A and B are shown apart, each in its own frame.
Chain A
Amino acid sequence: MNPASAALATAAAGTHGFLSPTGVEIAFLLVGVVTFGAALVTVSTKQLVHAALWLVATLGGLAVEYLLLTAEFIAWVQVLIYVGSVVVLLLFGLMLTKAPIGRSPDADSGNRWAALTVAIAAAAALVWVVVDAFRTTWIDLSGPASGSTEVTGASLFQHWVLPFEALSVLLLAALVGAIVLSRKAKADAAATAASTPTVPGSRSEKEGVR
């Protein structure tokens, strides 16, 4: 970067410098640190149920970030759907697959270090590109909220009606698909259990749990 463009960039950033952050930025930074830390614990803890509970902290932190970005409706949808139902589904999934309650030493697979290398390389590249591109871009958060329920509903039902209705068909298909998958698996398990009773090994205990 030549000195002229660097001076131009600092002049453009001079009105909103990184060294004199606003209150919203400080709050965003603090909540962001908590969110990122909870995400790191989610992918690195050896206790499977704790991973789901740290995921709650991550998703709740993201809801607070949406509130700080004045997207209220998205924030409440995030709380309702992610924290309310997705995490509960994941906990049910852990329970039904009989995840061990305590520490499980084989939670990470053998290619852990390769995954770490890939993730750190991707993080470095993405952060470098993003910071270089949006160093001087400023979001003006004053004025009316840009994501209130009124604004979001108006845009959703004026411009996005067709995708919205198509999405309901997709949700119906997903619902039917989940039911079909569960029922078919049950019928197959019953058939295999009748023919070779010792192979599945877990069906009788699962019936006992239910």
Chain B
Amino acid sequence: MHLAYPAVLSALLFCTGLYGVLARRNAVLVLMSVELMLNAVNLNLVAFDVWLSRTARETLHSGQALTLFTIAIAAAEIGIGLAIVLAVYRNRGTSDIDRLRDTAEGHEDDTPAAEKAEATA
């Protein structure tokens, strides 16, 4: 198999996830797009590991070991991320990223009055 096929698929998936992270408004959908980007990296790692283990007789299998570590860390990341999103939702009543602007400058007019009152309280 040409190495270009998995490499191109991985690049396309990564850019799809990049678009999702930048364009989505719901925090859970942003986490889904982050998962897409992580999976693109995993596909690259596996493809290059298979290529190197055949071509260079590399027996360390670092690509597949790193893929397993990435999968485990992604599972931990999604657990912590969802816990944070749920905590934000309980405190604010929204998981809309565009409305969480307490630390931003110049966006004071965008936040609704109730949120501002709660943030300053």
Contact = CB atoms under 8 A, between A and B. Distances in A.
Interface string B25-39: 111110111011001
Contacts of A85: 75
Contacts of B22: 111, 114-115, 118-119
A11 interface: no
Contact of A70 (B9, B50, B89, B117): B50
A54 B39 CA distance: 14
A110 to B, nearest CB: 8
Contacts of A138: 1-3
Interface string A63-77: 001101111011001
A36 B3 CA distance: 17
A178 B79 contact: yes
A36 B118 CA distance: 42
Contacts of A9: none
The interface residues of chain A, by DSSP majority, are classed as helix
Contacts of B100: none
Interface string A13-55: 0001010001011001100100110011011000010011001
* A39, A82, A96, A196 interface centre (most CB from chain B within 10 Å): A39
Contact of A39 (B16, B54, B83): B16
A92 to B, nearest CB: 7
A107 B114 CA distance: 22
Contacts of B106: none
Interface in A100-136: 106-112, 114-116, 118-120, 122-123, 126-127, 130-131, 134-135
Contacts of B90: 185-186, 188-189, 200, 202-203, 206
Given A51-B29, A182-B87, A201-B93, A127 B11 contact: yes
B74 to A, nearest CB: 7
The interface residues of chain B, by DSSP majority, are classed as helix
A25 B75 CA distance: 30
B23 A51 contact: no
A119 B22 CA distance: 9
A35 B13 contact: yes
Given A62-B39, A86-B74, A155-B59, A139 B79 contact: no
Interface of A: 16, 18, 22, 24-25, 28-29, 32, 35-36, 39-40, 42-43, 48, 51-52, 55, 58-59, 62, 65-66, 68-71, 73-74, 77-78, 81-82, 85-86, 89-90, 92-94, 96-99, 106-112, 114-116, 118-120, 122-123, 126-127, 130-131, 134-135, 137-141, 143, 146-147, 151-152, 155-156, 159-160, 163, 167, 170-171, 174-175, 177-178, 181-182, 184-186, 188-189, 192, 196, 199-203, 206
